Amino acid sequence: MKNSRNITLLLAIGALVCACATQETRHAAVSHEGGHAAHWGYEGAGAPANWGRLDEKFATCASGRMQSPIDIEYARGGQGQALRFDYKTGASDVQNNGHTVQVDYAPGNVVVVEGQPYTLTQFHFHVPAENTVAGLRYPMEAHFVHADKDGHLAVVAVMFQEGAPNAALESLWRDLPAKAGDKRSVPAGFAAASIYPTDLKYWRFDGSLTTPPCTEGVKWIVLRTPVSASREQIQALAKVLPGPNNRPVQPTNGRVISG
Model confidence pLDDT, tens digit, residues 204-244: 999 999 999 999 999 999 999 999 999 999 999 999 999 99
Position 248 in a domain: no
| 146 carries an active-site annotation | no
Position 155 in a domain: yes
Q: Which of 43-47, 76-80, 81-85, 122-126 has the lowest mean pLDDT?
A: 76-80
Catalytically annotated residue among 27, 36, 39, 99: 99
Position 125 in a domain: yes
Mean pLDDT, range 28-51, rounded to an integer: 70
Position 253 in a domain: no
Res 15: pLDDT: 42
Res 17: pLDDT: 43
Say whether the peptide bond before residue 244 is cis (omega within 30 degrees of 0).
no
CA distance 57 to 27: 16
CATH number, domain containing residue 210: 3.10.200.10
Split at pLDDT 50, 70, 90, the class of 64 is: very high
Mean pLDDT, range 91-112, rounded to an integer: 95
Res 75: pLDDT: 77
Position 257 in a domain: no
Judge contact between 186 and 163, C-beta under 8 A. no
Q: Please check the confidence at residue 32 and state whether its pLDDT lies above 60.
A: no
Q: What is the pTM of this model?
A: 0.86
Position 259 in a domain: no
Mean pLDDT, range 2-17, rounded to an integer: 43
Q: What sign does the dihedral 102-125-168-79 (CA atoms) show?
A: negative
Mean pLDDT, range 5-31, rounded to an integer: 40
Mean pLDDT, range 126-134, rounded to an integer: 98
CA distance 250 to 242: 23
Res 38: pLDDT: 74
Res 36: pLDDT: 40
- Residues in Cβ contact with 252 at an 8 Å cutoff, skipping those fewer than 6 apart: 70, 71, 205
Position 28 in a domain: yes
Res 74: pLDDT: 82
Measured in degrees and rounded to the nearest 5, phi and psi for residue 39 equal -80, 125
Structural domain boundaries enclosing 52? 2-239
Res 77: pLDDT: 66
Total domains in the chain come to 1
Judge contact between 220 and 204, C-beta under 8 A. yes
CA distance 205 to 258: 7
Q: Please check the confidence at residue 9 and state whether its pLDDT lies above 50.
A: no
CA distance 82 to 63: 33
